[in-house]
Amino acid sequence: MPSPIAHSVSGYILGKILPLEQRKVSIHKTFYWQIYAVFVAIFADFDFIPQLITGEKYHRGLTHSLSFTLGFSAILALIVSYLWKSSYKQIFLRTFLFYISHLCLDFFSEGRGIKLFLPFIDSFFRSPVIIFPGFHYSMGLWSYSHILTLTFELVYSTLLFFVVCYWQKTMSKKTKKI
């Protein structure tokens, strides 16, 4: 599975591509929106916390399933749309996409996969085509084995930033012409 770097950058970029659409969006709200996108994109890996406390294997379980993604997005969107007086549908769809970006990255990475269909099917699923080298936490935080993964993720993150910068420039040019 990728490290939090790839998940955070993916959430950040998605937050940029899918901004909060309101009549008036303050700089503060834009900032909080980016933090929200990153938080949602990494949330699935917070299953490390109950695993550390109890010693049971929760990682890549329920929080990495489609049913949890739907429930989490529905409840969080309800709270956020109420607090920010925004459209529920808009917040729900964006939250769902931020969250699902995490499952996609894990699905296409090295490792045993994710329990995508819990609670209906208690099995790990992984793409036969691997894009991301795995980050092996079992080797400890400072293992040399992480260098390849981190290098790959830094290249991935840089590429994403360039693509979004180019897309934003193109969009602003088009808007100016109109």
Contact with Zn ion (CB under 5 A) among 3, 16, 36, 45: 45
Query: CA 70 to CA 78: how far, in whole Å?
Result: 12
CA dihedral 29, 94, 103, 115 (to 10 degrees): 110
Under the binding rule (CB under 5 A), the answer on residue 47 touching Zn ion is no
Contact with Zn ion (CB under 5 A) among 106, 111, 115, 134: 106
By rule CB under 5 A, what count of residues binds Zn ion?
A: 3
| Window of 50-58, 86-94, 100-108, 145-153 that interacts with Zn ion by CB under 5 A | 100-108
What does the radius of gyration of the chain's CA atoms come to, in whole angstroms? 18
Residue 144 beta carbon to Zn ion: minimum distance, rounded to whole angstroms: 23
Task: Give whichever of 63 and 86 is closer to Zn ion, judged by the CB atom.
Answer: 63
Nearest-5° angle of CA 76, CA 37, CA 28?
95
Q: Which residues in 104-114 are b (16+ Cβ under 10 Å) and which e? A: ebbbbbbbebb
Q: Give the per-residue contact string, 111-150, with Zn ion (x = CB under 5 A; - = no).
A: ----------------------------------------
Task: Give whichever of 106 and 153 is closer to Zn ion, judged by the CB atom.
Answer: 106
Give yes or no for a cis peptide into 133 (omega within 30° of 0).
Answer: no
